Amino acid sequence: MLSSRRRLALAALLVASLAAGPFPATADAPASYTLAHDSTLSPQARTAPGTNLLIVGIDRRRGMTRERIQQLHVGGEGCDCTDVMMLVHLTEDRKRMSVVSIPRDSYVQFAPHDHPLHAGKINSAFKHGGPDLAVRTVEQVTGLRVDHYLETDFSSFAEAVDGLGGAQVCTDRPLQDPKSGLRLEAGTHVLDGRHALRYARARKVTPPGDLGRVRRQQRLLLGMLTRLSDAGAFRDPVALARTARTLLPHLRTDTGTGLAALISLGWSMRELRPAQMEFATVPMSEFDHRVPDWGSTLIWDKARADRLFTAVREDRSVAAEITLQAVPVAMAPSSVSARVDDPDVAEALRRSGFVVTNDQQPAGRPHGPTVITYDPHWERSASTLAAALPGAKLRPVAGHGRVIRVAVGSGGRAVAQVTYDRSMVEGAPMTGEQLRCR
């Protein structure tokens, strides 16, 4: 029987032989570039523990045939900007991975480049100055050092997903977005590259907009990692080398992130389980900040964003840094109108900002939970109200009208404090165990 030392030596030999062999590259793959950190990066960031990867997906159609564009359902003008931007942090002890998504419409100050200093949507940093400006802008606004850069575009992403055997995702409701081409029934699915791209790009599904899309991108990344982990790709050195060889031709990287680096990163993840992965989105304070020439942008909640990135820099979990004490809701309570048949509950809801009128009290308080009756068109309003009434049961009734009716049950008189915070509704920190398909 081989000793552990001999097994390790044999594994290293197998990996080296695979890594040394030739592998195919895409014909028009962009050249690698050298990471350069400018003066905006603090000494603390330069020496911080752990490893940071910046993963970006580019909205690019250059070099794609008309048939390929139709196949991937990516018609329209390409912006040559970042459609996806994720910072992945592996802790120094390799016992936790934190994934922080940066929404593409974030309004930030660009790092110094060949133009007068200016701000803009972070996804345009790439268009203004390629990966160099994109990386340095991320470093400037997060205070984090980027150690590895991984870039892909529409076609390469689809090919990479196919090469890795697909990505598992799940949904508790049907998803349909004509613009991205997504049509997905409720349940668990293993998506091929084309459908994974449609899932990652969808914006016209619930929850709508960039934050909902970012959460789906996180689920997609988790689904790919989970499938690879379950197949033993991170624990078997030979399988890991083959996986890295499959992935690399579909990536543009910095010069320090070649096959050996990908193998090393994969090997360092071999002990990670979904419960040791956490996913978050940069918290926002404003969702429709209008700027000339840029249109609608997102403004970061500076205090919470700073706490989040400080936690990453200090190799700590991000969850406790941005979680709120109050229950976050996706709509302002002042936009939700309700009739409530319990005066004490009605008054408590008014104090939270809901527009409430007193309804006729029943002769006897019914047993069971509080029941919220609403028109399905106003589902988000009803869900916002339900967040303030723990244990309440939602009852959709077509044609009920805009005003929601609350029948308070015998055990449902508690009212929770809520706060209007879309960031924590659609982008709250979650572990991989909470996000994964079951």
User: Tens digit of pLDDT per residue, the chain (438 long)?
Assistant: 444 444 444 444 444 434 444 344 444 456 678 898 888 899 999 999 999 999 999 998 888 888 998 999 898 777 889 999 999 999 999 999 999 999 999 999 999 988 888 999 999 999 999 999 999 999 999 999 999 999 999 999 999 999 988 999 999 889 999 888 999 999 999 999 999 999 999 888 876 678 888 999 999 999 999 888 888 888 888 889 999 999 999 999 999 999 999 999 999 999 899 999 999 999 988 888 999 999 999 999 998 899 999 999 999 999 877 666 678 887 899 999 999 999 999 999 999 899 999 999 998 888 899 999 999 999 999 999 999 999 999 999 999 999 999 999 987 788 998 988 878 777 888 899 988 887
Q: Classify 245 in phi/psi space as left (phi over 0), alpha (psi -120 to 50) or beta.
A: alpha
Give me the pLDDT at residue 347, please: 95
8 A C-beta contact, residue 177 and residue 202: yes
* Residue 411: both structure tokens together: 């055990």
8 A C-beta contact, residue 369 and residue 409: yes
8 A C-beta contact, residue 327 and residue 419: yes
Please report the sign of the dihedral spanned by the C-alpha atoms of residue 284, residue 286, residue 291, residue 294.
positive
Look up tokens 């030392």; give the residue.
5
Give me the pLDDT at residue 207, please: 67
Give me the pLDDT at residue 323, please: 67
Sequence letter at residue 431: T
The DSSP output letter for 322 is H
* Residue 243: both structure tokens together: 């996986």
Residues near 138 by Cβ (< 8 Å), separated by ≥ 6?
54, 85, 87, 102, 122, 125, 144, 146
* Residue 321: both structure tokens together: 């840094």
Look up tokens 């895409």; give the residue.
26
What is the value of pTM for the model shown?
Answer: 0.82
With residues binned 3-state (H G I as helix, E B as strand, rest as coil), the percentages for the chain, rounded to 5, are 40, 25, 40
